Amino acid sequence: MNKKTVIIGMSGGVDSSVAAYLLKQQGYHVIGVTMQTWETAENHAEIDAKKVASTLEIPYHVINFKQEFEKNVIDYFITEYQQGRTPNPCIVCNRYVKWEALLQFKKQVGADLIATGHYAQIEKHPETKRYTLKTSITSAKDQTYALYNLTQEQLQNTLMPVGAYHKEEIRKIAEEIGIHVSQKADSQEICFIPDNDYSNFIEQKTGKYPSGNFVDLDGNLLAKHNGIIHYTVGQRKGLGVSFGKPMYVYGINVEKNEVILCENDALFQKTLYAKRLNFVGIENIGHEMRFQAKIRYNHKKAWCTVRMKDKLLECIFDEPQRAITPGQALVLYDGDYVACGGTII
């Protein structure tokens, strides 16, 4: 029997609950932990996670990481929107808050490993032998995109038991073992903005943003906008103005306080640049390389050629991609393995 101790992050959802059960079945000594990250999120999560831990008969703890979450996730989220970019807070939270909290607690109690309920698999890349993420067997639920920023040390110390299962199987296991959250819905929105109204959240924190001009690609004035934080690349709904034809957000010029609009065709582009690279399955990009890439969480992988150019990663897609959005992540895949990723600029 394996008697290693594993600290598992429990969100109160079905995935992390079943992950805890699977680890226990594999012979690990499992300790459940819920991270308090912001003011109201943890109440339901804690109640559900505590109940699951009790059902599974595993020790359970709550750790307060509100300060770290505020600094690394919420402040970052607001700053990015202020700069006209559309951030992905989950990516930042995974690396700088969740994993750090779990590793810190692991050290504190002298445990061996940490675990989460993510749909991904951790393996060594067959060629480079680096720790990397392999896509989950259920592509519809695969979460490798949001995990690309994890470090070698973080990956080396982590188990992700649900990555080898389909969602239906996870729910079935939960039902069979009598976990009360077996049919709990998946969370869809950003955890600290439950109503999904990003701009209202930012304005409550920072005050109202000045209106400015909607302009076309040639700089011609079209109408007034309500403040740049209300818009993101590719957006059509919620512009608040009728133009007689469908118009989309092409880009945001923070200096001029302008939102640039275009018709749908202009949203398709082949080239993007990314910075803040994190190498996972590969160590570097030394020459032109071929990968498949995702530019947002629910984007279908697309073939591209990448190379380094002036310290930035240049990515040229074979086919034009719609609404490449600054602030989102570019994640490169070598087959089923995450090669590297970075932030689109």
Q: Which residues are catalytic?
A: 93, 191
> In 263-275, which positions are buried (b, 16+ CB within 10 angstroms) versus exposed (e)?
eeeebeeeebbbe
Please, which residues have CB within 8 angstroms of residue 27's CB and are 6 or more apart in sequence? 1, 2, 3
d(CA 49, CA 170): 16
d(CA 34, CA 46): 6
Opening angle at CA 56, ends 52 and 57, nearest 5? 110
How many angstroms separate the Cα of 134 from the Cα of each of 21, 222, 262, 333, 338? 22, 46, 37, 9, 6
* Spatial contact of 36 and 63, defined as CB atoms under 8 Å apart: yes
How do 212-215 and 221-225 pair as beta strands? antiparallel
